[in-house]
Amino acid sequence: MTYPVHLDVKPQVKGFFDPATNTISYVVKDPASNACAIVDSVMDIDYAAGRISYGHADEIIAYVEANGLTVAWLIETHVHADHLSAAPYIQERLGGRIGIGKNITIVQETFGKVFNEGTEFQRDGSQFDRLFEDGDTYEVGEMSCLAIHTPGHTPACMTHVMGDAAFVGDTLFMPDGGSARADFPGGDAGTLYDSIQKVLSLPDEMRLFMCHDYGPNGRDIRFETTVGEEKAHNIHVGGKTKADFVKFRTERDATLAMPKLIIPSLQVNMKAGALPEPEADGKRYLKVPIDTL
């Protein structure tokens, strides 16, 4: 499939790095208006203390307000397993619609069982304002944006193209970081390889923005590259056949520990960032399944 892109539209992109989770959130401004999208926001959690806070989200809110921007969309590239989404918190203060890939329903079905969510938990994606399918378009002000289905890390992963900028979630890392794992339930290394090829079929000059960076080999944090740079220098993809990549990715994933925030993140993010409802004592609780993940 050939995807329509608009390299002549050059949105202003502001990144916000969260050192606790190595996540980068973005405010993406339409160059022709004051409309913007917020991509992959972070809600702060002190997991050991059971405390939620919003310092990272408040920084984004302050930036939006200081620049007189209007939020059109709150985009989740996928159901994150390493941080909690601040989308509902930001939506309550700034508005906007929350969107994620249509296959969130697969993630909800899988982890609804893992966390024994019961029949009251809707597994139809209705917690989100829009479920994107491959090739769907939407607008941020006068800027036409495109959702591309890029599964493999999770079934619901999407790459969002806004003008000459594409937000790849965990499909790719910076060239010296390679690619994300594919061993979560619903993940698949072969599918991830195919999705990476989708991204790399975009024009070489397309800007790519990462969801995470870990500063490999001690370098400074970076989160912007191009399709051309990824094609030329990505250490996990360059020169590998699909079979080579699957073998490499599968062997590497077997050595990786689970993300430290996977349990709270999945429970919250599959519900569009909503925290659990208070129980009879007025407190909210997250579940820890034993010998499941």
Tens of pLDDT, residue by residue over 155-208, are: 999 999 999 999 999 999 999 999 999 999 999 999 999 999 999 999 999 999
The predicted structure's pLDDT at residue 10: 98
pLDDT band at 293 (very low <50, low <70, confident <90, very high): low
Residue pointed to by tokens 């203390």: 49
Could you give the count of Cα atoms lying within 13 Å of 69 in the half-sphere of its Cβ?
A: 29
Two structure tokens written together for 193: 């390889």
Q: Which CATH class is domain 12-269?
A: alpha beta
Rounded alpha-carbon distances, angstroms, from residue 286 to 89, 110, 255, 269, 290: 18, 17, 27, 12, 13
The predicted structure's pLDDT at residue 118: 84
Helix 55-66 / helix 87-94 crossing angle, nearest 10 deg: 30
Instruction: Report the SS3 class of residue 136.
Output: coil
DSSP codes, 193-252: HHHHHHHHTS-TT-EEE-SB---GGGPPP--EEEHHHHHHH-TTTTT--HHHHHHHHHHH
Sequence spans of domains, the chain? 12-269
Residue-wise pLDDT for 131-160, tens only, equals 999 999 999 999 999 999 999 999 999 999
